[in-house]
Amino acid sequence: MTTATAPALPRTSVKPFYFNTSAHLLRITRQKANTLAEFLDALRECPDGSIFEHTFRTLEEHHFIGEGFSNDFAHWVLSSCNEPSLAEGLASVDVREFTSVADLRDRFIQIVQIFLQRSAEAATRASRETFYFCAADAVVIPTNFVARTLHEFSEGLRGVSVHCIHHHFIEARLRLKLMSNDFSQWLHEDLGLTEAARRLNRIDIYTATLDDVREQIIRIVERALI
């Protein structure tokens, strides 16, 4: 039996990884809710940008909170409507399981609908605070970091802002329409580091701050360097 030597991992990619970031401006939409029934209507009618803002984007805005914050809908339902079971249901929605805002919207609508079918009396109870639906307008901007090698990639990860991490690691699935992210895609497709790419996809963004997420990504990438 002959022993085949594993081919050396390609450490230089033909296609460089350009670190970009996105900056968002909040627009106030027409939808608002003072009851759960109004909330359900607004969930159906609001622009896609609102679903994005109150789920994907709010994670970025509150990236420093390691635990206890999932999305704006869950937070409002708990703090202003005092409906902990509905809040738990909404909070359990993991944005990374969705590659389209339409599917994400449907999931939230379904959760609220089921709750109101079981607790009809909650539908018209006035909330303590109004929920205002906002939407984010985005501008994508470059950064100073470009990576051609794993080492440069690791340096880039250290140097960019957490907004850049969010842009490539969390928002990316809406662009890619894949259950993945820009980092994993590059590691897998351009460097052949499939295991590292897979491990990145297992990082839990809901139990860590974005800075912690960055550290976990760097650790995985640096392990692949060894």
Partner 1 sequence: MEPMELQTAPVSEMATSEVVSHSNAVSTPIAPLREERRRKPRTWETPPAPVPAPHLDDYKSIVGLPVIDELRFLANGLKGKTLKMVNSTAVGGGVAEMLNQLVPLLNELDLRTKWDVITGGNDFFEVTKAFHNALQGSDYKLTPQARDIFLIHNEQNRKRMEFSEDVVVIHDPQPAALVRGREDSSRRWIWRCHIDLSNPNPDVWGFLRPFIEQYDAAIFSSQSFTRQLAIPQYLFYPCIDPLSEKNKDLDDSFVQQVCDEFGVDRSRPIVTQVSRFDRAKDPVGVVAAFKQARKYVDCQLVLAGGGATDDPEGATVLKEVTESAGEDPDIIILDLPPWCALEINALQRASTIIVQKSIREGFGLTVTEALWKGKPTIAGAVGGIPNQIIHKLTGALVHSVEGCAYQMRYLLTHPQFAKELGENGRKHVKENFLMTTNVRRWLLLCRILLGSGTN
- 30 is a site residue for partner 1 (CB under 8 A): yes
The stretch near partner 1 (CB under 8 A) out of 7-15, 98-106, 110-118, 136-144 is: 136-144
Measure the N-to-C terminal CA separation of the chain; round to a whole number of Å. 28
From 10, 15, 142, 179, residue interacting with partner 1 (rule: CB under 8 A):
142
Tokens representing 212 are: 């912690």
Q: How far is the CB of 162 from partner 1 (least distance, A)?
A: 9
Residue type, 66: G
Query: For 14, phi and psi rounded to 5 degrees?
Result: -70, -40
Q: How many CA atoms lie within 13 A of 24 on its CB side?
A: 22
Applying CB under 8 A, which part among 18-26, 35-43, 108-116, 213-221 lies near partner 1? 18-26
| CB 69 to partner 1: min, Å | 6
Could you tell me the smallest distance in angstroms from the CB atom of residue 174 to partner 1?
11
Phi, psi of 134 (to 5 degrees): -110, 170
Phi, psi angle pair for 23, to nearest 5°? -110, 140
* Candidates 84-92, 103-111, 130-138, 196-204; binding stretch for partner 1 (CB under 8 A): 130-138
Contacts of 10 (CB under 8 A, 6+ apart): 191, 192
Comparison of 10 and 142: residue with beta carbon closer to partner 1: 142
Q: Which is nearer to partner 1, 101 or 196 (CB)?
A: 101
CB of 122 to partner 1, least distance (A): 20
Nearer to partner 1, 119 or 209 (CB): 209
Out of 43, 90, 116, 160, which residue is the one contacting partner 1 (CB under 8 A)? 160
Q: Does 128 bind partner 1 (CB under 8 A)?
A: yes
63 binds partner 1 (CB under 8 A): yes
Cα(114)–Cα(112) distance, integer angstroms: 6
62 is a contact residue toward partner 1 (CB under 8 A): yes
Q: Which of 11, 16, 27, 123 binds partner 1 (CB under 8 A)?
A: 27
Token digits for 144? Answer: 């100073």
What residue ranges bind partner 1 (CB under 8 A)?
21-28, 30, 32, 61-65, 68-69, 75, 79, 128-130, 132, 134, 137-144, 159-161, 163-164
